DNA sequence: ATTTTTGCAAATCATTTGCATATAT
DNA sequence: ATATATGCAAATGATTTGCAAAAAT
C-alpha cells in the first residue's frame, strides 16, 4: 500500500472518506511549505475544486487533532499549518521565513528543561510549543540575505 | 525613581505619555497572569477608565515591540500577552493552564539546538518561540488535577 | 504651533455555527 | 436506511484603519 496518506489517517480514525476531504488531503500533500486555511482555499479554486470554506476548516481541525498537522503561528502573526511527516514522533518544525519551506527537527531538548523548571518554579510543565524560524539552505544559497537573529525572542 | 515601569519604557522610546497609555500600563502592571486585549478592556471598564479599543491594541503592539510584553498563543488558541519582568534577558514563560499565572524561565536551552539544526538541516535558525504550559504550584497545592501531559506536542 | 495620539465607527479578516441537503457507509 | 458530512450564508470575534477632534510636546 502507499506509505501513509492523510486520507488513510482520516480513514483509520473512522471518518468518512468524502470527496472534499480527499481533496483537502491532496492539496496539503502537494505542498512542502506552511499554509493557511485561505491558501488551501486558493489552491482549490485554482484547480477548479469546489470545497466549502467551512469544510476546509473542519478538515484542518481534524487533521491537527490526529497529529498530522501542526498549527504554527508565523512571526507575522498569521495562523498557519505544516504537515508532520512522519506524524508520530515528538518533533518541531523549522520554517523558512523567506520561502515558507519547512522541515522537521527531531531531538527536542525541551524535555530536559521541564524537571529543572519544576525544581526552580514549582510549575508542572505539561505541554510546550516550539516554533523555529530562519532561512532554508536553498534561500541561503540563492544569496538572499538571511533573516537577522532577533534580539529579544519569545 | 521607581524600578522601571511600562510607562518609563514608553517614555524612553520617545512615545508621548498620554492618559490612556498610562492607564493601559497600570492595568498590565496590576496583573500577574496572562491577559487578552479584551481582558484589559474589561479591566478598564470595571475601573471606570475610558480607553478606546483601538488604543489598547496600539499600546499592546508598542509594548510588545519594546520587549515589555510577549505575545503567547494559549493552548485554547487565544491570543494573549504576558508581561516580561525583567524585559531584557532572553527567557521564556510558563503559563498555568488552570489559573493563568505565569513566571519566567531563564536558561533557555534552545540556543544549543540551533547549531545542531544548522548542521543537520541546513536551516539557519534566526528566531524561536517557546511556550510552556502546565500547572502552577498554587493550583497543584489546591489539589486540582494537573493538566495531563499531551502526547503529541508541537 | 506642531506633531502625535485618541476614539469612534466602519472595514477587514479569520473562524465558527445553524441547518437543510447531499453523501458515504 | 441511517448517520455523517457538506456548503451556504449568517454570526461571531478579534484586530485594523480612516479620520476629525483632542492632547502632549
User: Are the Cβ atoms of A124 and B117 closer than 8 angstroms?
Assistant: no
A53 touches strand D (CB under 7 A): yes
CA distance readout (Å), B86 to A3, A59, B114, B145? 49, 42, 25, 31
Which positions ≥6 away from B47 have C-beta within 8 Å?
B27
Task: Measure, in angstroms, how far nucleotide D10 C1' is from residue A53 CA.
Answer: 14
Residues in chain A closer than 8 A to B73 (CB atoms): 73, 129
List, in order, residues 6 or more apart from A146 with CB less than 8 Å away.
Answer: A134, A135, A139, A140, B124, B126
Best CA proximity match to A37, nearest among A101, A80, A84: A80
> Binning pLDDT at 50, 70 and 90, where does residue A1 land?
low
Interacting residues of A132 by C-beta distance below 8 A, sequence separation 6+: A92, A93, A94, A95, A105, B110, B114, B117, B123, B125, B127, B128
Of A122, A147, A151, which has the smallest distance from its Cβ to B137's Cβ? Answer: A122
Can you tell me the distance from the alpha carbon of A28 to that of A85, in angstroms, rounded to the nearest whole number? 12
Kindly list the distances between the CA atom of residue A140 and the CA atoms of A91, A145, A146, B123, in Å, as whole numbers in the listed order: 24, 7, 6, 8
* Rounded distance in angstroms from the CA atom of residue B52 to the C1' atom of nucleotide D21: 14
Whether A97 CB is under 7 Å from strand D:
no
Q: Is A131 in Cβ contact with B124 (below 8 Å)? A: no
Q: Which residues are bridge partners to B101 per DSSP? A: B33
Helix H or strand E encompassing B124: strand B124-135
* Confidence band of B2 (pLDDT split at 50, 70, 90): low
Covered bases, chain C (protein CB within 7 Å): 4-9, 13-18, 23-25
Average pLDDT across chain A, whole number: 86
Whole-number Å distance between alpha carbons of B40 and B52: 11
**pLDDT band, very low/low/confident/very high, at B152 (cuts 50, 70, 90):** very low
Q: Which residue has the higher pLDDT, A97 or B42?
A: B42
Decide: helix, strand or coil at residue A123: coil
- Residue A100, sorted as left (phi over 0), alpha (psi -120 to 50) or beta, turns out to be left
Closest alpha carbon to A51 in A21, A26, A9, A80: A21
pLDDT value of residue A150:
58
Say if residue A104's pLDDT is above 90: no
Residue B9 · residue B28 · CB < 8 Å: no
- The three-state secondary structure class of A130 is strand
**What confidence score (pLDDT) does residue A116 get?**
85
Indicate the pLDDT class of residue A2, thresholds 50, 70 and 90: low
**Contacts (Cβ under 8 Å, ≥6 apart) of B124:** A134, A135, A140, A146, A147, B118
pTM of the model: 0.80
pLDDT at B80 over 50: yes
CB contact under 8 A, A103 and B96: no
**What pLDDT, on the 0 to 100 scale, is given for residue A28?**
96
In DSSP terms, B124 is beta-bridged to A135
For residue A123, give the nearest of B75, B91, B137 by CB distance: B137
Mean pLDDT of B111-125: 86
Amino acid at each position: 500500500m502507499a506509505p501513509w496518506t492523510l486520507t488513510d489517517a482520516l480513514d483509520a480514525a473512522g471518518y468518512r472518506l468524502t470527496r472534499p476531504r480527499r481533496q483537502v488531503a491532496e492539496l496539503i500533500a502537494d505542498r512542502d511549505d506552511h499554509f493557511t486555511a485561505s491558501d488551501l482555499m486558493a489552491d482549490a479554486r485554482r484547480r477548479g475544486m469546489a470545497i466549502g470554506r467551512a469544510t476546509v476548516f473542519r478538515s484542518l481541525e481534524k487533521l491537527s487533532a490526529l497529529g498530522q498537522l501542526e498549527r504554527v503561528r508565523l512571526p507575522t502573526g498569521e495562523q498557519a499549518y505544516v504537515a508532520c511527516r512522519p506524524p508520530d514522533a515528538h518533533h518541531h518544525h523549522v520554517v523558512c521565513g523567506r520561502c515558507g519551506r519547512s522541515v522537521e527537527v527531531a531531538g527536542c531538548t525541551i524535555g530536559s528543561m521541564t524537571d529543572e523548571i519544576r525544581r526552580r518554579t514549582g510549575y508542572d510543565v505539561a505541554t510546550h510549543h516550539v516554533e523555529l524560524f530562519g532561512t532554508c539552505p536553498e534561500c541561503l544559497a540563492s544569496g538572499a540575505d538571511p533573516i537577522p537573529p532577533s534580539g529579544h525572542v519569545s
